[in-house]
Structure 1
Amino acid sequence: MSSGTEPATRAAGQASSAENPWPVRTVARKIADWIHRLGAVWVEGQVTQVNARPGTSTAFLTLRDPAADVSMTVTCPARLLREIEPPLRDGASVVVHAKPTFFLGRGTLSLRANEIRPVGIGELLARIERLRRLLAAEGLFAAERKRRLPFLPRGIGLITGRASAAEHDVLVNAQARWPAVAFHVVNTAVQGVNAVPQIIRALSRLDADPDVDVIVIARGGGSVEDLLPFSDEALCRAVAAAGTPVVSAIGHEPDSPLLDHVADLRCSTPTDAGKRVVPDVREETARVHQLRDRARRALHGWVDTQCRLLDQLRSRPSLADPLGPIERRATEVETQRERGRRAVLTTLSREQAALASARARLAALGPSATLERGYAVVQFSDAEGNLKVLRSVSDIADGATLRVRVADGAVRATVQGHEE
């Protein structure tokens, strides 16, 4: 006995190396010793795979983190599960007081629970309310970030349970309103521990599909625990980050999971979602006919108005007899031209007579007429060489040159003496 344990003891006391490796049992024992020194902890999670066989003293269950793909095995006395009312079922939220335990033979880690407390409805609602305030403070509920649905989507993505009433309600009501609507249906779990990861994967796949313009997440009514996945923080953030508008159609009118506040459109029921994602072909056809009739009446009214305007314009004298005013104006122009010609001729005759009268008076008063009667004008040059009229014999001296102007010309003469 001692010969078998001495090598292991020596190996445990030395550092491992390629030449001196530790046996598996030594490594497992060291891990177990370290884990066993850890204290007990309170752990919260969702219960999956409850295994409590009749006649056994130990029960097994899996505790899963709802916000991440992480789970751990939990062992506990079977009486703990039998004492819980109502009995635990998959998807229930619990708080477990357990101590980490490493099973040496199998090399597995589990939690050894000595107390299990189901999370009550009040606690769940309080947690949902705290998460609601957190998401609202981050702006995920803000109305300005919500997008409008397209009028007629090319394709509609539908995330719902397989062969569920919610799927039937959405498809039937949407196709009744618009028979040509195209759906891309992805069936997922809508309650329990697998619901959130499956819905997130489906949402990511439909969001990446270019033929999908709207995504509908639908589920029928249920209890608060059944609708817990639709208040999950990871799902709410995934919907807020989606590039495609998301419609929430969860439960009935009173139900209001957090997904309703994050989605771009909240529908009270899956039936309501089927009516709101597509237009009604009958209503749209009637609206088209109504608009066509309104357009026809408007066009006829406009044409009638223009026809009346043309009739009014055509009845005006200027358009009824377009040449008459021109002819009348031509006559008036000719009359005014003749009056102007006569006025000009009259003025010219009057001015010509006045000019002739002035010319006659000038001729009578001028020197020319006197010269024609035999008179002459005698001029002499003064000291500066200017010609002046000789008015007195005292103005000229003997021998001076005179200019004698008669009617038909002038002659030069020389002064030879004076006569009084």
Structure 2
Amino acid sequence: MALQTSPETPVTVAALTSMVGDWIERLGAIWVEGQITQISRRPGTALVYLTLRDASQDVSVELTCRRNVYDQVMPPPSEGARVVVWGKPNFYRPRGRFSLTVQELRPVGIGELLARIEELKRRLAVEGLFDAGLKKRLPFLPRRVGLICGRASAAERDVLENAQRRWPAVQFEVRETAVQGATAVPQIIAALGELDADPAVDVIVIARGGGSVEDLLPFSDEQLIRAVAACETPVVSAIGHEPDSPLLDLVADLRASTPTDAAKRIVPDLREELDRVIQARERLWHAVTRLLDREEHALAGFRSRPALAAPYAMLDQRAAEIASLRDRVHRAVDHRVARDSEVLAQTLARVRALSPLATLERGYAVVQRADGAVVRKPDEVAPGDPLSLRLAGGVLAATVSGDDSSSE
């Protein structure tokens, strides 16, 4: 039943803590897993006080453990160790403080941790978080590199020095966080979100040196893996040494074997790029030179051809051919005219030889009546009929005077 209160009928703090304590005390003993962040062994007491923190959340609970229970764990747990405790929740009413009274304490073994990591790996792989198709390509030359690393760590020094040695103008946005222990995951996730939201950051590097399986556990945390998968900015994992392989390596867009290797992956080498530029310029120069030489030879070949070497020679040749043809035409026409003139003269001579005019030139005449009819016999005319006499030199008029007399 919900507690019925109002401004007129409020409950006191003592009543509230009493009710909360009653509710908590009704809970039975439970198993709880977490990471020990603080151990306090007070001299002269039979109790050991511990702080148990969630590995991926900023949540902790105080533990009260009897010394004999704590001493049964061999080797004794240390700060940062993962443990499973069996205890009963209780609530200290005077101070309103929640705690857990430990009845049994068990360290989480390496084998169990690795088994959990493998199970998480399988589950995330089924979800597709490790698919190669999701990997984002790193920029060739990032404007600014985000770096998440430990405070004053060797990993930070390796990344910064090697990257600046390769490309002196590279800029970094460094976020120093805890890289092991209970506070590592929340801090890394917060730094990751901050760098991912910065539009000037083109790539993010998460770097840490080598360590034990327990030290590298934060980089196999499910929340961190999902945060990296959700990043819009490419993420490079540079955790530990070559044999180390936390789940962060699988979800990151690029896995570097070491922080030094990450520095080589995120920026190009200035000397190598200058050498490539020089080589490219040389190849370009040789290519242009070869092209110019080839075109020059081709142009020289074109110029050596008769059509370009002596462009008027062809015209002169054609002009000479035309002149020769014209002369041939003139000669042929003259020859034809001369031949036809000769034939015409011969024909004319024959015509003239057969023409009546030739007969008239020998003294003959052609007698015609007035109607133009040729008179062949004397009886074809009568006395007094007019006649015309066609001579070689012209025409004479005459009249018939008699049948045997000459005409006038």
- Report the 3-state secondary structure (helix = DSSP H, G, I; strand = E; otherwise coil) of the residue aligned with 1:169: helix
Instruction: Report the equivalent of 1:393.
Output: none
Asked if 1:240 corresponds to 2:239, the answer is: no
Cα deviation, residue 19, structure 1: 5.7
Q: Give distance in 1, aligned partners of 2:120 and 2:247.
A: 8
Q: State whether residues 58 and 183 of structure 2, in contact with CA within 8 Å, keep that contact through their aligned partners in structure 1.
A: no
Shift of 1:16: 6.0
The equivalences for 1:28-47 within 5 A come to 28-47=17-36
Q: Distance in 2 between matches of 1:29 and 1:211?
A: 54
Percent of aligned pairs with the same residue? 59
- Number of residue pairs matched? 351
Q: Note if contact 1:90-1:193 (Cα within 8 Å) is conserved in structure 2.
A: no
- Residue 142 of structure 2: which of 153, 157, 164 is its match? 153
CA contact 1:236–1:262 (8 Å) conserved in 2: yes
RMSD: 2.8
State the one-letter code of the partner of 2:214: E
The residue that corresponds to 1:315 in the other structure is 304
Of 255, 265, 278 in structure 1, the residue corresponding to residue 244 of structure 2 is 255
Corresponding residue for residue 230 of structure 1? 219
Letter in 1 for 2:235: V
Supply the distance in 2 between the matched residues of 1:68 and 1:15 (Cα, whole angstroms). 33
Supply the distance in 2 between the matched residues of 1:216 and 1:306 (Cα, whole angstroms).
52
Query: Relative to 1, partners in 2 of residues 1:332 and 1:29: Cα closer, same or farther, differing over 3 Å?
Result: same
Q: Does 1:56 align with 2:40?
A: no
* Equivalent of residue 170 in structure 1, options 141, 152, 159: 159
Which amino acid in structure 1 is aligned with residue 108 of structure 2?
V
Contact 2:242 2:258 survives alignment (8 Å): yes
**1:296 alignment partner, one of 275, 285, 292:** 285
Tell me if the contact between 1:217 and 1:250 (Cα under 8 Å) persists in the aligned partners.
yes
Which letter does structure 1 place at the counterpart of 2:40?
A: N
Correspondence 1:374 to 2:363: no
CA-to-partner distance for each residue in 1:222-254, whole Å, 9 max, x for gaps? 000000000011111111111111111000000
| Matched residue type, 1:112 | T
Tell me if structure 2 keeps the 8 A contact 1:80–1:115.
yes
What is the TM-score when the length of structure 1 is the normalising length?
0.77
Structure-1 separation of matches of 2:256 and 2:58: 30
Report 1:114-153 matches (<5 A).
Answer: 114-153=103-142
Residues of 2 paired with 1:286 and 1:20: CA distance? 83
Show the 5 A alignment for 1:90-129: 90-129=79-118
Distance of 2:336 and 2:121 partners within structure 1: 108
Gap change, CA 1:332 and 1:223, over 3 Å in 2: same
Query: Any residues of structure 2 matched to 1:214-229 within 5 Å, and which?
Result: 214-229=203-218
1:195 aligns with 2:184: yes
Q: Secondary structure at the match of 1:247?
A: strand
**1:55 CA displacement:** 2.0
1:182 and 1:15 mapped to 2: Cα distance?
60
Are residues 22 and 264 of structure 1, via their aligned partners in 2, closer, same or farther at CA, if it must alter by over 3 Å? closer
SS at match of 1:113: strand
| Paired position in structure 1 for 2:315 | 326
Query: What code does the residue aligned with 1:89 have?
Result: S
1:340–1:181: structure 2 CA closer, same or farther, 3 Å change rule? same
Query: Please, what TM-score do these two structures have when normalized by structure 2?
Result: 0.79
Cα 1:282/1:19, change in 2 over 3 Å: closer
TM-aligned CA deviation for residue 261 of structure 1: 0.6
Work out whether residues 131 and 233 of structure 1, in 8 Å CA contact, stay in contact via their aligned partners in 2: yes
Distance in 1, matches of 2:373 and 2:338, equals 35
CA distance in 2, matches of 1:16, 1:281: 72
Separation (CA, whole Å) in 2 of partners of 1:277 and 1:285: 17
The equivalent residue for 1:383 is none
| Counterpart AA for 1:312 | G
Cα distance change on mapping 1:23 and 1:325 into 2, 3 Å: closer
Q: Deviations over 1:69-120 (max 9, x none)?
A: 2222221212222222222222221111111112222222221110111110
1:81 aligns with 2:70: yes
Higher mean displacement: 251-260 or 97-106: 97-106
Give the letter aligned to residue 85 of structure 2.
V
Structure 2 residues not aligned, in runs of 5+: 355-370, 375-408
Task: State the distance in 1 between where 2:338 and 2:84 align.
Answer: 134
Report the residue type matching 1:272 in the other structure. Answer: D
Give the 3-state SS of the residue equivalent to 1:95 in structure 2: strand
**Match of residue 261, structure 2, among 243, 258, 272:** 272
